[in-house]
């Protein structure tokens, strides 16, 4: 008999033997003996959480979701399985290289495990491995103790999480508006559109561009260094484009925006000012997040909310941007920011400074559920991105399906993240083997200490 079960049964027999069942249940905080029995039944008796150990880390490469996502599976010595994922587009190596550092650890010690591997994460996709492992550990801890992840974060501020969504792009503003209206018809209550210099690059006199600069060269150069500026004509064209969208969707629904192109900071200011009449919910990553001073220049010159964060790893750089007044709102991607707990800490810091938090997300239902639990438990949350509304099999990757009602995701009461893999469907949409063994990563070693 497992020690945990013995302990539970021991406590039950003590209560009964004393002939004080009701009083005993009451002393434990339960109204009736039946309630006490039911609550004790929530503990997974096949698992003793203090003895839970990681035994394996494997990946499967999901494709066309519509993004590529390395799914992570953590196995344990007690038959519990934890699910996570490397951020979309990231390498599975980011997770697999951690295997030898994780086997033998108790995944319930989520914070301790994360601090042990934190040094192997960095900004954007390079944080994908450590964040994916963190979400899988929360899944395991929740399953071992029989509670949903949001409960371990301190409980809920909301049980339904607002989603926001964009669509495929169209060069025609009216068509872009029609596609967004379809999202509204499906219940989505908060929208996003991408518009920028790629819409006007072939129109004469809309842009100033260094002669001979290619699109590829521009995409690899950070905004302040491309030498690209938008002309007054270009600003007018983009203003008309968003106006046509507003003609279709109306002025009331929040419309956020992204992907303006790699343009100079003064063009950013001109563009933002032109957009004020369209009441955008935010303009995102107008300059790279590393340039907080430039971001603050834009923010100080316009009434359109300025936002960044999807490529920032850990709280420290969010703190810098918030403290210097460079952002109206933040936008962490949980799979880059440091996982579930770090994202909540980021949200809580922003909350103290009156800064709201939207959440960037593109991935599978595993990371989606990690986001839903975090959003449920973080007070200043506004809306969570959903990038796969047009992928018909996306919900079928897991059982039960993520519950989405009227544009809101419901935070499930089930233990852990609240979903399990659906192998048949996942196997139809992966490249390579389904969670193949990874013995080649068993002995990856280095002297990891960061101090002497
Ligand atoms: Mg973005």
Task: Tell me the CA–centroid distance for residue 87 and ligand 1, in Å.
Answer: 14
pLDDT digits (tens, 9 = 90+) for 204-226: 999 999 999 999 999 999 999 99
238 and 362 in one domain?
yes
| pLDDT mean over 29-35 | 52
214 and 119 in one domain?
no
- ∠ CA 109-112-117, nearest 5°, is 120
Task: Tell me how far apart the alpha carbons of residues 160 and 294 are, in angstroms, rounded to a whole number.
Answer: 36
| pLDDT mean over 179-192 | 98
302 Cβ contact list (under 8 Å, min separation 6): 269, 272, 273, 275, 276
135 and 210 in one domain?
no
Task: Tell me the CA–centroid distance for residue 331 and ligand 1, in Å.
Answer: 9
Residue 360 falls inside a structural domain: yes
Instruction: Look up the CATH number of the domain holding residue 353.
Output: 3.20.20.120
Instruction: Look up the CATH number of the domain holding residue 121.
Output: 3.30.390.10
Task: Tell me the CA–centroid distance for residue 332 and ligand 1, in Å.
Answer: 10
Task: Tell me the CA–centroid distance for residue 207 and ligand 1, in Å.
Answer: 22
Task: Tell me the CA–centroid distance for residue 333 and ligand 1, in Å.
Answer: 10
Residue 30 falls inside a structural domain: no
In this predicted structure, the answer to whether residue 18 has a pLDDT above a threshold of 90 is no
Task: Tell me the CA–centroid distance for residue 389 and ligand 1, in Å.
Answer: 17
Residue 27 falls inside a structural domain: no
Task: Tell me the CA–centroid distance for residue 284 and ligand 1, in Å.
Answer: 6
252 and 289 in one domain?
yes
Task: Tell me the CA–centroid distance for residue 286 and ligand 1, in Å.
Answer: 10
Task: Tell me the CA–centroid distance for residue 425 and ligand 1, in Å.
Answer: 29
Report the candidate in 86, 57, 117 with the shortest Cα–Cα distance to residue 366: 86
Task: Tell me how far apart the alpha carbons of residues 419 and 433 are, in angstroms, rounded to a whole number.
Answer: 22
Report the candidate in 102, 161, 162 with the shortest Cα–Cα distance to residue 136: 102
pLDDT digits (tens, 9 = 90+) for 305-331: 999 999 999 999 999 999 999 999 999
Task: Tell me the CA–centroid distance for residue 78 and ligand 1, in Å.
Answer: 40
287 and 404 in one domain?
yes
Residue 289 falls inside a structural domain: yes
Percentage of the chain exceeding pLDDT 90:
89
207 and 108 in one domain?
no
In this predicted structure, the answer to whether residue 123 has a pLDDT above a threshold of 60 is yes
Protein residues placing their CB within 5 Å of the ion ligand 1: 258, 284
Task: Tell me the CA–centroid distance for residue 172 and ligand 1, in Å.
Answer: 21
Task: Tell me the CA–centroid distance for residue 433 and ligand 1, in Å.
Answer: 31
> Residue 302 has what pLDDT?
98
In this predicted structure, the answer to whether residue 230 has a pLDDT above a threshold of 80 is yes
164 and 143 in one domain?
no
Task: Tell me how far apart the alpha carbons of residues 78 and 85 are, in angstroms, rounded to a whole number.
Answer: 22
Confidence of residue 35 (pLDDT cuts 50, 70, 90): low
Task: Tell me the CA–centroid distance for residue 202 and ligand 1, in Å.
Answer: 24
- ∠ CA 163-331-228, nearest 5°, is 115
- SS3 track for the chain: CCHHHHHHHHHHHHHHHCCCHHHHHHHCCCCCHHHHHHHHCCCCCCCCHHHCCEEEEEEEEECCCCCCEEEEEEEECCCCEEEEECCCCCCCHHHHCCHHHHCCCCCCCHHHHHHHHHHHCCCHHHHHHHHHHHHHHHHHHHHHHCCEHHHHCCCCCCCEEEEEECCCCCCCHHHHHHHHHHHHHCCCCCEEEECCHHHCCCCCCCEECCCCCCHHHHHCCCHHHCCCEECHHHHHHHHHHHHHHHHHHCCCCCEEEECCCCCCHHHHHHHHHHHHHHCCCEEECCCCCCCHHHHHHHHHHCCCCEEECCCCCCHHHHHHHHHCCCCCEECCEHHHHCHHHHHHHHHHHHHHCCCCEEEECCCCHHHHHHHHHHHHCCCCEEEEECCCCCCCCCHHHEECCCCEECCEEECCCCCECCCEECHHHHHHCEECCCCCCCHHHCCCCCCCCCCC
Q: Which tokens belong to 338?
A: 């440091």
User: Strands 381-385 and 160-164, how do they pair?
Assistant: parallel
Task: Tell me the CA–centroid distance for residue 377 and ligand 1, in Å.
Answer: 23
| pLDDT mean over 167-196 | 97
Q: Which residues pair with 75 in a beta bridge?
A: 56, 81
> Residue 429 has what pLDDT?
98
373 and 249 in one domain?
yes
Task: Tell me the CA–centroid distance for residue 335 and ligand 1, in Å.
Answer: 14
In this predicted structure, the answer to whether residue 26 has a pLDDT above a threshold of 90 is no
Residue 7 falls inside a structural domain: no
Report the candidate in 299, 294, 290 with the shortest Cα–Cα distance to residue 263: 294
Task: Tell me the CA–centroid distance for residue 337 and ligand 1, in Å.
Answer: 14
Task: Tell me the CA–centroid distance for residue 84 and ligand 1, in Å.
Answer: 22
Can you give the residue range of the structural domain that contains 226?
Answer: 160-414
Cβ atoms within 10 Å of 217's Cβ, excluding its own:
11
Residue 10 falls inside a structural domain: no
In this predicted structure, the answer to whether residue 40 has a pLDDT above a threshold of 90 is no
Task: Tell me the CA–centroid distance for residue 327 and ligand 1, in Å.
Answer: 15
CA max distance for the chain = 90
Confidence of residue 237 (pLDDT cuts 50, 70, 90): very high
Task: Tell me the CA–centroid distance for residue 177 and ligand 1, in Å.
Answer: 19
345 and 230 in one domain?
yes
Task: Tell me the CA–centroid distance for residue 415 and ligand 1, in Å.
Answer: 31
Cis peptide leading into residue 229 (ω within 30°): no
Residue 36 falls inside a structural domain: no
189 and 89 in one domain?
no
Task: Tell me the CA–centroid distance for residue 298 and ligand 1, in Å.
Answer: 17
> Residue 46 has what pLDDT?
62
200 and 86 in one domain?
no
Task: Tell me how far apart the alpha carbons of residues 373 and 362 are, in angstroms, rounded to a whole number.
Answer: 16
Q: Which residues pair with 258 in a beta bridge?
A: 194
Task: Tell me the CA–centroid distance for residue 307 and ligand 1, in Å.
Answer: 9
Task: Tell me the CA–centroid distance for residue 322 and ligand 1, in Å.
Answer: 18
> Residue 45 has what pLDDT?
53
Domain count, the chain: 2
- Cα of first residue to Cα of last residue in the chain, in angstroms, is 46
Q: For 309, how many CA atoms within 13 A lie in the half-sphere containing its CB? A: 35
| pLDDT mean over 58-82 | 97
Task: Tell me the CA–centroid distance for residue 346 and ligand 1, in Å.
Answer: 18
| pLDDT mean over 412-425 | 98
> Residue 7 has what pLDDT?
38
Residue 173 falls inside a structural domain: yes
Task: Tell me how far apart the alpha carbons of residues 164 and 152 are, in angstroms, rounded to a whole number.
Answer: 26
130 and 78 in one domain?
yes
Task: Tell me the CA–centroid distance for residue 253 and ligand 1, in Å.
Answer: 19
Task: Tell me the CA–centroid distance for residue 258 and ligand 1, in Å.
Answer: 6
């Amino acid at each position: 008999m497992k020690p945990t079960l013995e302990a539970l049964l021991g406590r039950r027999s003590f209560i009964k033997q004393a002939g004080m069942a009701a009083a005993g249940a009451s002393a434990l905080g339960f109204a009736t003996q039946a309630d006490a029995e039911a609550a004790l039944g929530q503990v997974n008796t096949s698992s003793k959480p203090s003895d839970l150990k990681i035994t394996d880390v494997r990946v499967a490469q999901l494709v066309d979701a519509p993004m590529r996502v390395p799914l992570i599976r953590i196995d344990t010595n007690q038959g519990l399985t934890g699910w996570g994922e490397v951020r979309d587009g990231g390498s599975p190596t980011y997770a697999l290289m951690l295997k030898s550092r994780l086997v033998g650890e108790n995944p319930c010690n989520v914070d301790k495990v994360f601090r042990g591997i934190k040094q192997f994460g960095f900004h954007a996709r390079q944080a994908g491995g450590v964040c994916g492992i963190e979400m899988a550990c929360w899944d395991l801890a929740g399953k071992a103790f029989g509670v949903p992840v949001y409960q371990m974060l301190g409980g809920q501020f909301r049980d339904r999480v607002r989603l926001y969504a964009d669509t495929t792009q169209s060069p025609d503003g009216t068509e872009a508006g029609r596609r967004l209206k379809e999202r509204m018809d499906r219940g989505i209550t908060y929208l996003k559109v991408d518009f920028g210099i790629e819409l006007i690059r072939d129109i004469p006199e809309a842009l100033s561009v260094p002669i001979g600069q290619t699109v590829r060269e521009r995409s690899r150069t950070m905004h302040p260094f491309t030498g690209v500026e938008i002309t007054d004509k270009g600003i007018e064209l983009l203003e008309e484009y968003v106006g046509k969208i507003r003609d279709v969707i109306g002025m009331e629904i929040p419309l956020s925006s992204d992907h303006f192109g790699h343009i100079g900071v003064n063009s950013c200011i001109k563009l933002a000012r032109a957009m004020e009449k369209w009441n955008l919910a935010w303009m995102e990553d107008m300059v790279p997040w590393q340039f907080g001073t430039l971001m603050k220049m834009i923010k100080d010159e316009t009434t359109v909310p300025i936002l960044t964060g999807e490529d920032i790893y850990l709280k420290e750089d969010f703190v810098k941007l918030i403290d210097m007044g460079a952002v109206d709102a933040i936008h962490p991607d949980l799979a880059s920011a440091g996982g579930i707990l770090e994202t909540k800490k980021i949200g809580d810091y922003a909350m103290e400074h009156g800064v709201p938090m939207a959440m960037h997300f593109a991935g599978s239902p595993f990371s989606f559920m990690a986001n839903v639990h975090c959003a449920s438990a973080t007070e200043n949350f506004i809306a969570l991105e959903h990038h796969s509304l047009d992928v018909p099999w996306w919900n079928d990757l897991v059982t039960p399906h993520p519950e989405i009602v009227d544009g809101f995701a419901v935070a499930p009461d089930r233990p852990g993240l609240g979903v399990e893999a659906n192998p048949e469907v996942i196997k139809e949409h992966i490249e390579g083997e389904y969670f193949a063994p990874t013995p080649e990563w068993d002995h990856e070693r280095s002297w990891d200490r960061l101090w002497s």
